[in-house]
Amino acid sequence: MTSESSGAGPSRAANVPLEGSEHTSVPSLGAQSIGARSFGLIVVGDEILSGKRLDKHMPKVIELLAARGLQLDWAEYVGDTPERITAVLRRAFASGDVVFSTGGIGATPDDHTRQCAAAALGRPLALHPEAEALIRERMRDTAVEQGITYEPDRPDNVHRLNMGVFPEGATIIRNPYNKIPGFSVADVHFVPGFPVMAWPMIESVLDERYADLFALGRSAEKSVIVYGAMEATLTPLMEAVERTHPGVKVFSLPSVDHPEHGRHIELGVKGNPAGLAAAYQQLIEGLHSFEARLGPEMVR
């Protein structure tokens, strides 16, 4: 699966709808309200599920979101099976979440994401005029680099225009690496599988469309290492802290073979800094009542 066609495979007229585009049931796109929003990630590709490639997208998306005071709420991996991709995308469109989908938007036989997005939406596919212009510009640039004449009607060049065939109503996401764009429909954003292209495209979408959601300085967390305790024993304390401090979440991260701390639990609170200190104090007092042995504290 690639993000830019190599010219292999049969040529197809770029303005002819591709397979899987005829669906009559249009899902209701999720609510677009401003406020607390969830962020999701879809990683498409057999090569990820087979282990031929390691997924680098999820750690990077977590990093990009965290730099803006946001967090990834869910992620889903799916292979190059059109029916499965369509089902995953149908849920994404209906969720109201901000979702990034990586991979499968090229024009080789194992790239199905564009067609599946159209099927999930119940919309036809069409060559996006701005995408067409960018792809043609890329092909002209490539011809100059190779010292050959650009031939727009050559079959492989016509085939490459399929990379600009998106569901009707889509908007483009500019690709600073090679100009071949991705696309967005509502809050679901489609980028190539190549990290060098996908990551700056995701970053630009975040900064251009969701800056009002950035929560810098509005979230923090504090935790402590707890030795010799069981999660089940501490669960009532965790529940009590959350009941007393709405908007604060308690987290528990057990480890059985940590190189420094051995068997332990990292127990902490996260949320609005204004309520964090009181919640953490309640947590610590509760741990003392259990006579738990405490280690280092961590603030993030």
Q: Which residues pair with 240 in a beta bridge?
A: none
Q: Report the distance separating Cα 41 and Cα 194, nearest Å.
A: 15
Q: What's the pLDDT tens digit per position in 271-298?
A: 888 889 999 999 999 999 988 899 999 8
Query: Using an 8 Å Cβ cutoff, are 221 and 29 in contact?
Result: no
Q: Report the distance separating Cα 43 and Cα 135, nearest Å.
A: 24
Question: How confident is the model at residue 172, as a pLDDT?
Answer: 98
Structure tokens at 46: 């057999």
Query: Using an 8 Å Cβ cutoff, are 18 and 115 in contact?
Result: yes
Pairing of strands 74-78, 39-44: parallel
Q: What's the pLDDT tens digit per position in 7-54?
A: 333 233 333 333 333 333 445 565 444 446 899 999 999 999 999 999
Domain ranges of the chain: 39-213, 220-299
What mean pLDDT is predicted for residues 124-132?
98
Q: Given pLDDT bands bounded at 50, 70 and 90, which one contains residue 260? A: confident
The answer to whether residue 185 scores a pLDDT higher than 90 is yes
The residue among 276, 280, 274, 273 whose CA lies nearest residue 297 is 280
Question: How confident is the model at residue 5, as a pLDDT?
Answer: 34
Question: How confident is the model at residue 27, as a pLDDT?
Answer: 55
Question: How confident is the model at residue 30, as a pLDDT?
Answer: 58
Query: Using an 8 Å Cβ cutoff, are 109 and 5 in contact?
Result: no
Which numeric CATH code is attached to 220-299? 3.30.70.2860
Which numeric CATH code is attached to 39-213? 3.40.980.10
Question: How confident is the model at residue 102, as a pLDDT?
Answer: 98
Q: What's the pLDDT tens digit per position in 207-257?
A: 999 999 998 666 788 999 999 888 999 999 999 999 999 889 999 999 988
Question: How confident is the model at residue 292, as a pLDDT?
Answer: 87
Q: Report the distance separating Cα 242 and Cα 220, nearest Å.
A: 15
Q: What's the pLDDT tens digit per position in 49-80?
A: 999 999 999 999 999 999 998 999 999 999 99
Question: How confident is the model at residue 211, as a pLDDT?
Answer: 94
Structure tokens at 127: 């060559």
Give the residue carrying structure tokens 């067409």. Answer: 132
263-300-216 Cα angle (round to 5): 150
The residue among 185, 50, 34 whose CA lies nearest residue 105 is 185
Question: How confident is the model at residue 281, as a pLDDT?
Answer: 95
Structure tokens at 80: 């190059």
Question: What's the predicted TM-score (pTM) here?
Answer: 0.78
Question: How confident is the model at residue 262, as a pLDDT?
Answer: 87
Query: Using an 8 Å Cβ cutoff, are 176 and 132 in contact?
Result: no
Q: Output 254 or 299, whichever has higher pLDDT.
A: 254
